[in-house]
Amino acid sequence: MAIKNFEGGNKISELLLPYGRGLLGGEVKAGKHTLDLSRRTHLMGILNVTPDSFSDGGKYLDSQRALAHAMRMAEEGADIIDVGGESSRPGSLPVSAEEELRRVIPVVEGLAGKIDLPISIDTYKSEVAERALQAGAAMINDISACRMDQRMVEVAAKYQCPVVLMHMKGTPRDMQLNPYYDSVVEEIYQFFLERVEYLGHMGILRENMIIDPGIGFGKTVEHNLTILRN
């Protein structure tokens, strides 16, 4: 992965150095699967088991339809299937852990026996993440970077699975209410610098941390384009 020379770019390069080839394009182990990121971009198929997600909300609430869609995405070339049970669209409200578990666990269990791909659980709730890992998921995708539920750090460290850490300003409910940055790149850099350092101290292996700048989460269109350019 090339890193352009921009304000903050050199700092991000420095941030990546401790990971060796891990974040610059190496191997990430997710359960029995190994994703070799040095060869190509890997595709994550998104499966929202929700009534209100912005992309496919309401289409796959039935677990059998959800499983069929996941199989179709695998056939079409997905490398990872990401299962989510709570919408993170702008303005969305949280659901209980019980409701989220009711939505996602049957799907994760069904996929674990049918699909030869790593399953990712999209949640910021530690209880949901742990139950999904026990049911067959191999990685965590946390839009809060392990901030909204402090026990998520313990779960990620206990299972030593890959965890996607996303930058988000605010919460899904309020993140798009006039988001402001002095420098979006610099603030994202500082955010990840602090999170990576903290989570490493808490026992999460650095090679298991995958950073996501959170395009569309607490950013304007201009912020998103700046992130994409850099």
Q: Tell me: the pLDDT tens digits for 65-111?
A: 889 999 999 999 999 999 999 988 777 788 999 999 999 999 999 99
CATH of segment(s) 9-229: 3.20.20.20
CA terminus-to-terminus distance, the chain: 12
Q: Find the helix or strand (DSSP H, E) in which 27 lies.
A: strand 27-30
Q: Tell me: the pLDDT tens digits for 23-55?
A: 445 788 999 999 887 788 889 999 999 875 555
- CA-CA distance, 130 to 101, in Å (whole number)? 10
- CA-CA distance, 143 to 19, in Å (whole number)? 21
- CA-CA distance, 225 to 41, in Å (whole number)? 20
Each domain of the chain, given as residue ranges in start order, spans 9-229
**Closest to 138 in 3D by CA, of 163, 158, 113, 157:** 163
Q: Tell me: the pLDDT tens digits for 163-219?
A: 999 998 877 777 788 888 899 999 999 999 999 999 999 999 998 999 999 998 888
pTM: 0.83
Beta strands in 71-152 (DSSP E): 80-84, 119-122, 139-142
Query: Which one-letter amino acid corresponds to residue 84?
Result: G
